[in-house]
Amino acid sequence: MTAIAHYSGSFVERDIFEPEHDAYRDSVRRFVETELQPHHAQWEKDGIVPRSAWLKAGEVGMLCPSVPEEYGGIGADFLYSVVMIEEITRANVTGPGFMVHSEMVAPYILAWGTEELKREWLPRMVTGEVIGALGMTEPGAGSDAKEMRTRADRDGEGYRINGQKTYISNGSQCDIVVLACKTDPAAGAKGVSLIAVAADQPGFERGRRLEKIGLKAQDTAELFFNDARAPLSHLLGSEGAGFGMLMTKLAQERLSIGIKGLAASEAALRWTVDYVQQRRLFGQALGDMQNTRFTLAQLCAEVSQGRVLVDWGIRRFMDGRLTATDASKIKLLTTELNGRVVDQCLQFFGGYGYMTEYPISQAYVDARISRIAGGANEVMRQLIARDLFRAH
């Protein structure tokens, strides 16, 4: 394989990309710099990214690149998704919920949806005409999918759904939700099923758009289901198999969060290295002071270590060998690292780092959710410990 040193903003040379991935990165980077970055500050104020941005992203192949050609995609490998995640993260464009749409929603439909469901929805997800959301978290369930209360009861030729979901990314704009619900409340985890619910159904209601400390441009909403309907053909896989599906795809979700967290750390470190060489203090550049150099050198070493781990995880995922425990380790380590990097880097910016117009400020508040999303890091530790003690 070929690699371009530092091409992706990494501090170590990478060897996982081919020339076609680098060409795709060029295209995505130009799009992000011309079509997303100039508008992102306004989207942060508006609390939402307009649908026009989704449609433009669809035109350049940024949405659901792994969807096969027969369903409207380009049938690309996972590295195309890696490039997309890294480039929007590198540019500090945290508003568009493309990762949720492409790497969390579409894979469920592609893997377990009926042929009818795939042909109806995937082509429009590729173009951006349809926006997808994943409905897992509930007010009383948090990261524990087994405790969810949303129910789906058989009713004639479909399901009647009642319940509530919260913290749903893309929630206020979504057209389809892959919804985790109980089809057999007495069966615990074995009673969880996944159903694709169209947002235009009677009984599907959107709550308020939630205000957050970070990711302000990424719309996040509550969703309510009051006798909402879904046809039997919208069941993913079989009834009661939902928990197993979630465990399978959560590995991809957690890897994607790790990819994003590591790219965010690399970007923050580069901004800081550039800044401390310009900032003068006590008659010398801040970057010439030993504390600055040693602190940033330590962060660079840790970020480089994280890069090796993440790229190892990407290879394992593409080979079909990334385990749930591996993904939990990657998510835990990269998001904890991201928190330390943005905190220490912001300190070097001094008062400027506290000003919202500086990218490091946005990166600081945006990084906090990564230790919660995709399963809180305490859950990651529990999963890793369970595997560790099982093995011994």
Length, in residues, of the chain: 392
Distances (CA, A) of 336 to 214, 315, 356, 381: 17, 22, 22, 12
From residue 342, how far is each of 2, 41, 125, 360 by CA, in Å?
31, 20, 33, 7
CB 267 within 8 A of CB 89: yes
Neighbours of 242 (CB within 10 A): 31
**C-alpha to C-alpha distance for 111 and 91, rounded to whole angstroms:** 31
> What is d(CA 383, CA 258) in angstroms, rounded to the nearest whole number?
16
Active site residues: 253
The Cα–Cα gap between 349 and 353 comes to 5
Calculate the alpha carbon distances from 171 to 147, 168, 220, 256, 365 in Å: 21, 5, 6, 20, 21
At residue 341's C-alpha, the angle toward residues 336 and 342, to 5°, is 105
Pair 173, 206: CB distance under 8 Å: no
Helix axes 324-349, 242-278, angle to 10 degrees: 20
Task: Enumerate the β-bridge partners of residue 181.
Answer: 193
